[in-house]
Structure 1
């Protein structure tokens, strides 16, 4: 048995031995029965898996960490995706570069939804803007915003949410302009949040953008939320 099989078996044993059918039903209902759960609350799951993923972070090479992340992430039960994300948080900042986005993007599309998407905004934002070649990084953002998957569009929109004064507002407005007509609730939320943050930096430009593009009341209501 290889090391990955042992780790996956250890995690599976932890999850199955702590599964709760009542919690499982509630968790699956909360995500509209789109995904499977073992039935373990986050507050319980995190401490019982932390020793395993902490040890993996210490003993595995970078390539092995990437393999394990993918193996965990592509398991059907949601607890595995959440644990994979927590494992990734240990090492991505010091180890991943812009070039790793081509590895990461197809993985996170597995069973993607709002509960996983929003964990990757900062990761994609930091890695994309770490590339000093403006043309290359902008091309990558346009690749995301034109992806057929709306969740990937959401990542593109939200990739600068934490950038504050470093936000490239002109680029942001260019990205979201074609999506202003969307009826997708989650994209409307993303656009509203992005414009609200940008308005804190340059309110004149954002107000002008809103007026010139007849931004919908739904988006404006998100902008005006407190």
Structure 2
């Protein structure tokens, strides 16, 4: 059985999203923004979230400011990218930045934003379940199944 051809554009996007180490840095932010907004689908954004996570480690102050700005952007994919930019960082996650990216989106009814919130909280609940329980309890807008349920179920202490 033969391989299905992959569109050239998809290969370019994947290569740009994960450049060699010597080319990684904040100078690629415009490329990441373009890929998120032009790809305009969750799989592009979720793949890019790991690159933004790398930037959080390399340039924490600048990246925090960037994702805070994205969290209120008109483009839903940049808002999603802001929300999910840190979960891969595990214990290095900055809860102030996570809070600042989720709070402007708490009342958003867009499915992909709600799912991003739930995923980010669920991932962080693996590291700090008490923080997630407190955060969810303090934010009434997190009552939809897409955001609160996954995070609160993952943050229950194991029996």
SS at match of 2:47: coil
1:7-18 mapped onto 2 (5 Å cutoff): none
Matched, 1:45 2:5: yes
Of 121, 139, 152, the residue aligned with 2:78 is: 152
TM-score of the superposed pair, with normalisation by structure 1? 0.59
The structure with the largest alpha-carbon Rg is 1
Does the alignment pair 1:93 with 2:14?
no
Alignment partner, residue 221 of structure 1: 149
Counterpart-to-counterpart distance in 2, 1:177 and 1:158: 13
2:42 to 98, 114, 117: 114
Where in structure 1 do 4 or more consecutive aligned residues deviate above 4 Å? none
Does 1:140 find its partner at 2:100? no
1:199 equivalent in structure 2: 125
1:80 Cα shift? 3.2
Q: Which runs of 5+ in 2 are unaligned?
A: 155-159
CA RMSD of aligned residues (A): 2.3
Specify whether residues 97 and 179 from structure 1 end up closer, same or farther in structure 2 by C-alpha distance, changes over 3 A only: same
Q: Distance in 2 between matches of 1:147 and 1:168?
A: 20
Which fold has the larger relative contact order, with Cα–Cα distance below 8 Å and residues 6 or more apart in sequence? 2
Following TM superposition, by how much is the alpha carbon of 1:107 offset from its aligned partner in structure 2, in angstroms?
A: 4.6
Which position in structure 2 is the counterpart of 1:184?
Answer: 110
Provide closer, same or farther for how the CA distance between residues 206 and 81 of structure 1 changes in structure 2, counting only shifts above 3 A.
Answer: same
How many residue pairs match? The answer is 150
Q: Are positions 1:123 and 2:83 aligned together?
A: no
Q: Answer yes or no: is the 8 Å Cα contact 1:192–1:222 preserved in 2.
A: yes
Gaps of 5+ in 1: 1-40, 47-78
The residue number in structure 1 matching 2:157 is: none
